[in-house]
Structure 1
Amino acid sequence: MELRQLRTFVAVAEEGGFGRAAARLGVVQSAVSRQVARLEEEWGTPLFERTTRRVRLSGAGERLLPEARAVLAAAGRAARVAADIVAGEDGVLRLGGVHGPGDRLDRILAELTAGAPGLRVALRSLPVTARLAAVRAGELDAALVRAVDTAPGLALLPLWTDPLYAALPQDHPLAAEPPLDIAQLAGLPLRLAPRGENPPFHDLVTSAVRAPAGPPFTGLRETLTAIGTDREPSWTVFYDVRGLPAPPRVAVRPLTRPTVTTSLAVPPGPPTPQLRELLRALRATEDTRRP
């Protein structure tokens, strides 16, 4: 069964004759007769009662006509959805995300919804190495990554840059300083998560400062509490996710360097329509932040 056979069947039923159906479809009458005959043969039942004076639906034809119309309507909807997917206005965008700072990701998703309301975003939270691997494997269409300079097999599109912050004991002499250069903290033990947890960020920090290893980093909140209460001074470094913390007996100071860049990791080659919509949303949200 082909869609053109169903269209022909419906046209004959609605026009009340093979000649008028042929004119409507823009084909010769013999082609209409041939398509109907093939459908009748496939379904094993006559669809029309034919006389020399008129053509009318058989009992089977009357029953099957609504079903044929439903199939054609469904095919039309599928074609429209496919066209919207090709245009980037529908479908699914599989995106690996990062947190903050602020509401930046929320604004990007809002812009996507405004520009392509039919496009659904499937947001996945994965460690950075798994995020990049998922883009390479085609499991994600793109991923936001932080502090990544190279990603073999992928293209990196820099998006924005954010400062880093140092947290140190409130009574330490450097706590009263204005924004710090990370080199000023080189003599103070550094609490830093193992490299395997976030290789790009670990490499960014260790390439910028040579500091003695401090006690283990056990999560930001726990580490800040330990910095404020331990007798031996130490420090840690982090980026803003949802607002700067204000733990007791800890000073948080911005660093003049290094900064951390967030990029979009994408497969090489022309972007998909859904990815083009994401790039449009990224440009739009950055434009609104410029004076």
Structure 2
Amino acid sequence: MALYLVGDIQGCYNELDALLCKVKFSPKEDLLWIAGDLVARGPDSLSTLEFVKSLGHSANFVLGNHDLHLLAIEAGIKKAKNSDKLTSLLNSPNFSQLVDWLALHPLLLKVPNDNAYMSHAGLSPQWSIKHAVKQAEFAHKKIAGRKREKWLSIMYGEQPNDWQLVETKEQRFRYTVNAFTRMRYCYPDGTLDFSCKDQPKNAPSALKPWFELAKLQKAKWVFGHWAALMGECSRKNVYALDTGCVWGGHLTMLRWEDKKIFTEISHEIDS
């Protein structure tokens, strides 16, 4: 059995299918984990969700910011943009069922039998891993629960961006969602920045990538979300899997057992 970890698919279903064929993925023997953002901006979010759902227990994933935004669209909190390319998904008779299934998934996963974790954006430098696990479970229960719409309406906003300033459950929820799904850079004190998306060499000197500040110790961390990195990371125990397939880059898959990387170049550049 092999565990395959893949970065942001964002509706690039054909590239995912090609990668799985390349590694001869078997749902009966292997596992597929996705680092969030299954949907939006790519050509076929509907097929992506339907396929991953069809894999049953052979697939798992963490929620990304685009996945959460889809939940908010279904709840009537936000409206889809043309650039999201979600029309076929939104018009699908299975849309509500797919959204309910999507909402059951967590913000954080631990790799079995290993000191390794996966989240969409990373680990807040203001948290220990133990603390992050606790906050992820708190937010997961809100998103998967009966009052999902209420909590989704609370998640938008960039304050507080400092864990030390969190006072209410609502602030705790918003900070947690932002840390796990939107974070890239932080200030030296660990407070979150949401404005810079560039490569570290082009970022303002006051900002540091979250993984240079995070309290990882010997743990390994897998994340997506940050296409500008193109898989490059300054820490050997951190694996960046978003390589911008939806932007004309490529889809990246990591076989966990031997850390071998497989890629599939974006099919959109050929169309």
TM range, normalised to the smaller chain? under 0.3
Computing the radius of gyration over CA atoms, which structure comes out larger, 1 or 2?
A: 1
**Higher share in helix:** 1
**Higher share in strand:** 1
TM-score by length of structure 2 reads: 0.24
